[in-house]
C-alpha cells in the first residue's frame, strides 16, 4: 500500500529475482524499465525510482536501501539490472527446443493469475541481485554471478498502492546459467534459493505532509501541433 516499505531479501544467499510492479487499481499502469533506465541508469540503487509507463509517468516506488556494493566488477558489471528482461519459455523453445515451464515469465504469470491478470500483463522486469553489463566493444549483454550474501536486501517505499510480483529465477545465482549448458557451469536449478519479501508500516508521523505522486497530465496526445 502507498506509504508502506517493502524489503526484498536474499534470505539464504545469492539468488536473482525478477520484479514486476503494477498500479494495484489499474494494471495498465505498470513499471516502465526503459524510461527508468533513461532517468536513473541501467542499474538502480538507493534513491532511484521505478517509473510507470505512459500515459501516466510517475514513480511507483522509490528505492530507499540497498546493501549490495555499488563498485563495478572488473568487467564493468553492476547490480540490480534494467538492461535485460525475464527469462521465458518461448526463448528456451526457440533455442533449445526445450519445454521449460518454471521461467520467470511463467512464475510471474502464475503469481498474478489470482488478480485476473495474464501473461500479457507481464512486462520488462527489474532484475534484483543480478549483475549485468555491456561489453565495451560490441555492447553485448553479459551476466555475472550474483554478489548477494545471506541477508542482503533491496528496499523500496511504495509511492502508490502497488501490486508486485517477484520470481526467484530458475537460473539461481547465475553462476551456472547458459542455454543448454553453454556456460559449462552445471545445473542452474541447483543454485536456486528462496527470496524473502517483507512489508513494513511506516510510523504515521513520518508521512506527515507526504502525498502520492499523480500521473503527468498533458492536454491531449491527439491534437495536431499548434501553429
Ligand atoms: Zn529468470
Do 14 and 129 form a contact (C-beta atoms < 8 A)? yes
- 103 alpha carbon – ligand 1 mean position (Å): 5
CA 75 to centroid of ligand 1, rounded, Å: 22
Distance 18 CA to ligand 1 centre (A): 6
CA of 174 to the centre of ligand 1 (A): 10
Residue ranges of domains in the chain: 5-191
pLDDT in 10s for each residue of the chain, 227 residues: 999 999 999 999 999 999 999 999 999 999 999 999 999 999 999 999 999 999 999 999 999 999 999 999 999 999 999 999 999 999 999 999 999 999 999 999 999 999 999 999 999 999 999 999 999 999 999 999 999 999 999 999 999 999 999 999 999 998 886 654 455 557 888 889 999 999 999 999 999 999 999 999 998 888 877 66
Kindly give the distance from the C-alpha atom of residue 219 to the centroid of ligand 1, in angstroms, as a whole number: 39
- CA 142 – CA 131 distance, rounded (Å): 8
Q: What is the Å distance from ligand 1's center to 86 Cα? A: 5
Side-chain half-sphere CA neighbours of 76 within 13 A:
10
User: What whole-number distance in Å separates Cα of residue 175 and Cα of residue 195?
Assistant: 17
Q: How far is the CA of 180 from the centre of ligand 1 (A)?
A: 15
How is the chain classified by DSSP, letter by letter? -TT-EEEEE-BTB---EEEEEEETTEEEEEB-HHHHHHHH-SB--TT-EEEB-TTT--EEEEEEEE-S--SPPTT--EEEESSS----HHHHHHHH------SHHHHHHHHHGGGT--GGG--PPEEEEEEEEE-TTT--EEEE-----TT-EEEEEESS-EEEEEEE-TTTTSSS--GGGTT----GGGG----EEEEEPPPGGGGTT-----PPP-S-SSSPPP-
Amino acid at each position: 500500500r502507498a506509504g508502506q516499505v517493502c524489503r526484498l531479501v536474499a534470505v539464504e544467499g545469492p539468488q536473482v529475482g525478477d520484479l514486476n510492479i503494477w498500479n494495484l487499481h489499474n494494471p495498465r499502469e505498470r513499471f516502465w524499465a526503459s524510461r527508468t533506465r533513461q532517468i536513473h541508469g541501467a542499474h538502480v540503487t538507493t534513491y532511484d525510482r521505478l517509473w510507470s509507463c505512459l500515459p501516466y509517468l510517475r514513480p511507483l516506488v522509490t528505492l530507499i536501501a540497498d546493501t549490495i556494493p555499488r563498485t563495478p566488477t572488473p568487467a564493468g558489471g553492476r547490480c540490480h539490472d534494467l538492461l535485460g528482461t525475464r527469462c521465458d519459455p518461448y526463448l528456451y523453445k526457440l533455442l533449445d527446443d526445450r519445454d521449460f515451464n518454471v521461467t520467470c515469465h511463467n512464475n510471474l504469470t502464475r503469481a498474478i493469475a489470482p488478480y485476473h491478470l495474464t501473461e500479457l500483463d507481464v512486462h520488462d522486469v527489474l532484475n534484483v541481485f543480478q549483475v549485468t553489463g555491456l561489453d565495451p566493444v560490441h555492447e553485448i549483454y553479459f551476466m555475472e554471478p550474483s554478489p548477494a550474501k545471506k541477508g542482503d536486501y533491496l528496499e523500496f517505499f511504495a509511492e502508490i498502492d502497488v501490486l508486485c510480483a517477484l520470481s526467484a529465477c530458475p537460473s539461481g545465482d547465475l553462476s551456472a546459467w547458459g542455454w543448454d549448458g553453454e556456460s559449462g557451469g552445471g545445473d542452474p536449478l541447483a543454485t536456486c534459493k528462496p527470496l524473502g519479501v517483507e512489508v513494513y508500516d511506516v510510523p504515521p508521523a513520518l508521512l506527515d505532509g507526504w502525498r502520492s505522486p499523480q500521473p503527468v497530465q498533458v492536454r491531449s496526445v491527439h491534437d495536431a501541433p499548434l501553429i
